Amino acid sequence: MSAILQLTDYLRLPIVAIVCVCLTIKLVHILWYHYVVSTGRDPNCKAPLPPGGMGWPIIGESFYVLIQGSQFYSDSFRRFGTRMFKTHLFGSPTIRIYGAENLHTILHGEHNLVESSWPKSTQTLLGNVLTLSSGDRHTILRRHVSRAFTHDALEGYVHLALSVYKLHGSIVMCSLQPSIQDGVDSWSREESVLAFDVTRRLFFEIASVVLCGFDRREIEGEVMATAFMDFTRGFFTLPFDLPGTPYRKALTARKTLLKNLDKVVNKKLKLSPEEDKRDALRILMEHDEDMEGHVSTESLKADMLDLLNAGFNTTSSAATTLLYHISKKPELLKRIRRELAELRLLERSNGLTFDRLTECKYLTNVVKEGLRMGPPIGGGFRKVLKTFELEGYQIPKGWTIIYSIRDTIELSEGYSNKDQFNPDRFNPDRQEDQKGGRYNYPIFGGGSRSCMGKQFAQLILKILLVELARTCSVEPLYKEPVKFRAMPIPHPVEDLPLRFKKLDPSDIVKDAMSTV
């Protein structure tokens, strides 16, 4: 008995210490919550704040996002049972929202209710570029760069020989179709390929050549595409430059990317507008010359990073999602072949045009369904300019709003059997993307900051599917279930091994004539 009492006395102090520490942590947690809420809430608005927590001092709930990814957002929506919740992320009190009507309010409230505002980490990594610009500068830049995505420009990107230019004595093909044809042909010569890996390399090359005017022979596509993954992983994190952190890795990747851009930047700067082609980067250069009188090397490299990130990261993600579902459902390519045969586009000798691709309704639906199943952009950031109410909750001035594209689609009641890949949901007799309003399918955002390159991205994906349908089958070599991670862009956790099997032309024609 005395031994037990002695043991109890021995353990009492550590137990008391542990209890005190726990109570102190809990007290700090409570005080932090009340401090943020009391200082952030607008006393002139009677509406309550949305439900939710504030995490820990300074870091808030950012570590939960870093560890759980998009699952943190999905779990929070389910836990609170509302279409919005409050939290503290990346150094700012934040409200995460979803829903078509809520997105309409935010996306069309630019300059009135909200303005574009990205985390400090994103701003540091990208710099003062088009994507992060706001106000008059964004309006002017957007007006200039939109010239690279007009109907005529898109038509030119498709043609085989309409976008050829001279670069220090060499001829460079600046079109989409031959690059994608070469890519698909090279994949079919391999026993297996990793889908996310090869699409990143292919679409990086396309974005480099078409948007920035690179010489494709000077691009270290594999090195650059890999570095971009580490670069983008640092966008939505705490800007702590510490060893092993995503932010430190992103800074290192940025140095690698900028170093690899030195050669092509210097060559681009030496070209006159007459020698260069009318790509998006040249248009940005002309704007800088008009506004500043010169183009700096550093600003040009920053613009390149911005264009490349916007031009290949999301499309390679969408392409990987499409390849995954096509490998599971061979009938998708069969129906595309049938449509191409009906429009006399099945043979490679029949050249593609932007308008002819627009006629391919089923092909368009397949692309739309791929984007619905794996939205490449999960959402966007806005800073609240003045307090307003949304669904009966207060949205305080100075807070950050993150609108969720992914959750808006996943939790929408407008889609039937939403876990199934079904392009027919977009047919005129169903139009599930229109149920609940235009932002029931907010893949490309909306309002004054909607994605300028949306037609360009869909064009690339359409040409990829056409070239697959014209030449080969896609066979799965992976084991189910395949897990996709949503951040920084949707991608398979363990990549996606596939076999692209070259088919005899007669079998392709027979396939197109068969009933799916």
Torsion-angle region of residue 391: left (phi > 0), alpha (psi -120 to 50) or beta?
Answer: left
Alpha helices in 309-431 (DSSP H): 314-328, 331-342, 354-359, 361-373, 405-410
- Count of CB atoms situated within 10 Å of the CB of 513: 10
Tally of CA atoms within 13 A in the half-sphere of 90 that contains its CB: 23
Calculate the alpha carbon distances from 358 to 365, 464, 483 in Å: 11, 14, 32
Helix or strand or coil: residue 176?
A: helix
b/e sequence 271-294, b meaning 16+ C-beta within 10 Å: beeeebbbbbbbebbbbbeeeeee
174 in a known ligand binding site: no
CA 370/CA 325 separation, integer angstroms: 8
- Count of CB atoms situated within 10 Å of the CB of 111: 13
Strands 92-97, 400-404: pairing kind: parallel
Query: Residue 216 in contact with residue 172, Cβ under 8 Å?
Result: yes
- Residue 172 corresponds to which tokens in the numbers above? 């460079």
CA 248/CA 268 separation, integer angstroms: 30
Alpha helices in 451-504 (DSSP H): 454-471
CA 485/CA 66 separation, integer angstroms: 12
Query: Residue 423 in contact with residue 365, Cβ under 8 Å?
Result: yes
Give the distance between the most distant pair of CA atoms in the chain: 97
Specify binding-site residues.
451
Specify binding-site residues for heme.
451
